[in-house]
Each structure stands twice: as C-alpha cells, then as structure tokens.
Structure 1
Amino acid sequence: MHDTITGPRTVGLRIAVMAAIRQVPGQVKTHALAQVTAYTEQVNRAAADAKSTTVDAHLERAAFWACTARENGASEAEIHAARLEGHHQAATVQK
C-alpha cells in the first residue's frame, strides 16, 4: 500500500503546499505593516478630535500589529516606516 502523502502522484502537490506555507509569514508581515499604518492614521485622527475616546484603543491595535509584523520578520525600520506613513496619511487627510 502506498503512503498517500509521499506517493509518486502526490509529490508535486506536497511541494506546492510546502511552498505556499513558506510564503505565509511574508504575507502576514505585509498585512501587519499595513495595519500599523492604518491604526497609526486612526490614532492621529482621533487625537485631533476633542470628543474622541478611541485614541488608546487605536494605539493598542497599532502596537498589536507591530508585534505581529515583528514576529513575522519585519525589521524595526519597516515598522517605523509604516508608522511614519500612517502619520503622513493622517496629516494629508486633515489638511
């Protein structure tokens, strides 16, 4: 009886699955950095609104996504750049 995972017909599938799995951390990192940017922008918008009570929540989410990015290979420079982009986007919208 052939092992269905390593049998000759499934070797190509196994290689494709393993290649897809190797790409996941990079995709998570990219998404997490985008979230850092988005939440940083929301922090800035909330801070500009005297009636807003969401600054702390947005800061917490930005920190969560920064940690997630870091865990998936982002450098401190990449995280810093994502934050700067969030500040830039908020400044552009508020003008």
Structure 2
Amino acid sequence: MHDITTRPRTVGLRTAIMVAIGQVPAQVKTHALGQLTEAYEAASRYVGATDYDHDRMEDLHEQVCSWEATARRSGATTSEIRAAKTAGGVRAAAEQ
C-alpha cells in the first residue's frame, strides 16, 4: 500500500516564496537606479530650457532626491548612485 499523507506539500512553495522575497531588494535597487538616471536626465535637460520655471525645477530636483534615497535604502553604493547620475547627465548632453 501507498503511504498517504493528508499534509499538503508546501516545502517547495515556501522555498520559492523565500527566494522571491530575497530578490526584491535587488530589483528595487535596479529600478530605483534606472529611475534616478531618468530623473537626473530630465533635470539636466530642463536646466537649459527657455521656459525655465523654478517650481518645475524644484519638482525635478525632488524626484532626483527621492529616487536617490530609494536606491540608497535598497543597498545602492555611492559609486552606483554617482554612475546613475552621470549616465543621466550624459544622455541629456547628447540630446542637446
């Protein structure tokens, strides 16, 4: 006869969930660095705008600071943050 258990087999599911949860900080960091690059690019482009508005620039600066803080909380190093900002500045300069 077969040994029948009434307990559900959740060991594999638990392992999969724990692995997925473990990957979240790295995914958040990657996303935040990408958003930081885009926000810095937008702010860099706007500095040279002919219709410059201090309120708009303040909003862009706030976005940069917010994404930088999110990246830092997610484990990004200072050099990773600097690289993201540099990439945004380079992309903005290439468009002008």
**What TM bracket, shorter-length normalisation?**
0.7 to 0.9
- Is 2:94 the partner of 1:86? no
Give a deviation string over 1:10-32, Cα, whole Å, max 9, x none.
Answer: 01000000000000000000000
Aligned to 2:79: 77
Larger Rg: 2
- Give aligned-pair identity as a percent: 45
Gaps of 5+ in 2: 1-6
- Where 1:69 maps in the other structure, the secondary structure is helix
Matched, 1:33 2:36: no
* Corresponding letter in the other structure for 1:91: A
Look up the match of 2:69: 67
Task: Kindly indicate whether residue 36 of structure 2 is the aligned counterpart of residue 44 of structure 1.
Answer: no
Q: Bigger relative contact order, structure 1 or 2, given CA contacts below 8 A and separation 6+?
A: 2
Aligned residues: CA RMSD: 1.1
1:11 aligns to 2:14 (yes or no): no
Q: Secondary structure of 1:20's match?
A: helix
Deviation at 1:51?
A: 0.7
- Number of aligned residue pairs: give it: 88
What corresponds to 2:3 in structure 1? Answer: none
- 5+ residue gaps in structure 1? 1-6
| d(CA) in 2 for partners of 1:89, 1:56 | 21
Q: 1:55 offset after TM fit, Å?
A: 1.6
Amino acid at match of 1:76: T
